[in-house]
């Protein structure tokens, strides 16, 4: 659209992009500013991109320009039932325009060419979405981001590295998760089993998925992987419900049993004296003995006699919905203000909190690292 003209002494609104410290003591720092409209209205821009497209979505993109060393600049359309919901700019890097070790056909990068793309990430600085159209990335079921995963979700991956503290499992070219040593077997081992070798297939479930930090924690415990119900939120628990988790901590007052996505409960010390007490890291089948709805805390029991399956207490539809989980990324916008934040679990690394996002009435689980608790 051309460069706008500015007059001397004209007042403008700018956004700080970067502050470069001075080279010499006493010299002023260099402040880099921007007047680009989409960066001045940062919140609206981020909200617009995220409302029009989610990570992993498929969009039709039209080539606007192609630079051989860089890639394609695109204009994408988000459609639903033959209706255009909106248009947004995109960019597809050269290596993601075609299969590996090949060049894109000239006609496929010519201006006006249209085809299907998948969203890989948001580039808020340039106000566009990062895309791919590699055939392998467009196949059904292929993950392109951690943001596509929810706690409790069942996945199959390939071991690509074995370490003393566990194994790394590749779910796709873009997503790799970590299975801690304690999460490899129902009864924790002192070292990684020899059956976990590079190249072997592993069945897992998602324990925690943090797209912002690009961290993915998985469990390969058979009891958790094979169970037909995954507790991902204490709000979904019902009295006498049978749930499977693992002992994450042992205190003087009892054992903390963790489930998926930050859900957890307590087996009181008295109950552990009656039944055989599980060891740290061990998979354990429990019965929900009491639900504190106000504080959303669970008291668990090892006595399973009165226990009922989740499908019997919730109904099949509700149990399937609860087990599937809710990805916070779909209900909480990046940069939005969280209200009614309540700590539900503390550790030396941070605090698990329950909160309500500004753009949603749903109660979500979040995590605040220690470094972000205060200035």
Task: Please give the chain's pLDDT, 375 residues, in tens.
Answer: 567 788 889 999 898 888 988 878 888 889 999 888 777 876 777 777 888 888 889 999 999 999 998 999 999 988 777 777 788 999 999 999 999 888 999 999 999 999 999 999 988 888 899 999 999 999 988 999 898 899 999 999 999 999 999 999 999 999 999 999 999 999 888 888 888 999 999 999 999 999 888 899 999 999 999 998 999 999 889 999 999 999 999 999 999 999 999 899 999 998 887 767 788 999 999 999 999 988 889 999 999 988 998 888 876 556 565 555 444 444 555 556 776 787 766 766 677 777 766 555 556 667 777 767 765
pLDDT, position 328? 40
Of 296, 319, 342, which residue sits at a domain end?
Answer: 319
Instruction: Give the integer Cα–Cα distance in Å for 131 and 113.
Output: 15
Tell me, yes or no, whether 128 and 14 share the same domain.
yes
Do 88 and 189 lie in one domain? The reply is no
Q: Does one domain contain both 46 and 121?
A: yes
Residue 175 is given by DSSP the state -
How far apart, in whole angstroms, are the C-alpha atoms of residue 346 and residue 308? Answer: 30
Q: What does the pLDDT read at residue 349? A: 63
Q: How crowded is residue 336: how many other Cβ atoms within 10 Å of its Cβ?
A: 16
Q: What are the tens digits of pLDDT across the range 45-83?
A: 777 788 888 888 999 999 999 999 899 999 998 877 777
At 61 the pLDDT is: 95
Tokens of 243: 């749930």
Residues 132 and 1 in one domain: yes
Query: What confidence tens digit (pLDDT) does each residue in 320-344 have?
Result: 655 554 444 445 555 567 767 877 6
As to burial, measured by CB atoms within 10 angstroms (0-12 exposed, 13-18 middle, 19+ buried), residue 199 is exposed
Sequence-ordered strand ranges (E) for the chain: 15-20, 30-34, 58-67, 71-80, 83-93, 114-123, 128-132, 154-163, 166-170, 176-180, 201-210, 215-219, 242-251, 254-258, 264-268, 283-292, 297-301, 338-346, 350-357, 363-369
| Residue ending a domain, choose from 200, 225, 250 | 225
What's the confidence (pLDDT) of residue 326?
A: 41
Q: Taking the CB of residue 16, how many other CB atoms lie within 10 A of it?
A: 9
In this structure, the answer to whether residues 311 and 335 fall within a common structural domain is: no
State both tokens at 258. Answer: 């963790």
At residue 321, the pLDDT reads 57
Q: Which residues of 313-329 are buried (b: 16+ CB within 10 A; e: fewer)?
A: bbeeeebeebbebbbbb
Q: CB count, 10 Å around CB of 206? A: 24
Same domain, 4 and 137: yes
Residue with tokens 């054992």: 255
Q: Answer yes or no: do 138 and 170 share one domain.
A: no
Domain that holds residue 84: 1-142
Does residue 30 share a domain with residue 92?
yes
- Choose one of 162, 191, 225: the last residue of a domain: 225
247 and 355 share one domain: no
Clarify whether residues 132 and 152 are in a common domain: no
CATH code (residue 190)? 2.40.50.140
Total number of domains in the chain: 4
Return the H-helix or E-strand segment holding 199: none
CB 143 within 8 Å of CB 132: no
Residues 192 and 136 occupy one common structural domain? no
CB 239 within 8 Å of CB 320: no
Cα distances (Å, whole numbers) of residue 59 to 46, 76, 77, 329: 18, 6, 6, 19
Do residue 89 and residue 167 come from a single domain?
no
């Amino acid at each position: 659209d051309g460069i706008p003209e500015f007059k001397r002494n004209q007042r403008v609104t700018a956004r700080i992009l970067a502050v470069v410290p001075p080279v010499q003591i006493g010299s002023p720092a260099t402040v880099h500013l921007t007047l680009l409209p989409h960066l001045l209205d940062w919140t609206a821009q981020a909200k617009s991109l995220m409302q029009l497209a989610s990570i992993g979505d498929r969009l039709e993109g039209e080539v606007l320009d192609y630079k051989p060393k860089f890639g394609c600049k695109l204009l994408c359309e988000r459609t639903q039932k033959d209706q255009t919901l909106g248009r947004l700019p995109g960019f597809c890097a050269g290596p993601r325009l075609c299969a590996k070790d090949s060049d894109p056909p000239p006609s496929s990068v010519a201006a006006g060419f249209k085809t299907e793309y998948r969203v890989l990430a948001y580039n808020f600085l340039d106000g566009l979405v990062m895309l791919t159209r590699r055939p392998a990335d467009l196949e059904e079921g292929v993950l392109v981001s951690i943001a596509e995963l929810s706690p409790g979700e069942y996945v199959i991956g390939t071991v690509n590295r074995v370490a003393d503290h566990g194994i790394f499992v590749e779910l796709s070219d873009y997503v790799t998760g970590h299975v801690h040593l304690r999460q490899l077997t129902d009864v924790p081992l002192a070292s990684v089993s020899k059956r976990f070798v590079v190249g072997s297939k592993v069945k897992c479930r998602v324990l925690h998925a943090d797209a912002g930090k690009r961290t993915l924690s998985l469990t390969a415990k058979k009891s958790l992987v094979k169970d037909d119900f995954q507790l991902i939120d204490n709000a979904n628990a019902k009295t006498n419900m049978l749930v499977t988790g693992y002992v994450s901590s042992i205190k003087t007052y009892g054992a903390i049993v963790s489930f998926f996505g930050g859900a957890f409960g307590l087996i009181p010390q008295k109950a552990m004296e009656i039944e055989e007490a599980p060891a740290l890291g061990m998979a354990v089948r429990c019965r929900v003995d009491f639900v504190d709805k106000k504080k959303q805390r669970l008291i668990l029991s090892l006595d399973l006699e009165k226990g009922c399956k989740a499908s019997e207490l919730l109904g099949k539809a509700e149990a399937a919905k609860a087990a599937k989980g809710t990805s916070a990324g779909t209900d909480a916008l990046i940069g939005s203000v969280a209200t009614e934040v309540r700590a539900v679990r503390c550790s030396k690394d941070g605090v698990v909190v329950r909160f309500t996002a500004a753009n949603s009435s749903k109660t979500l689980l979040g995590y605040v690292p220690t470094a972000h608790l205060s200035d």
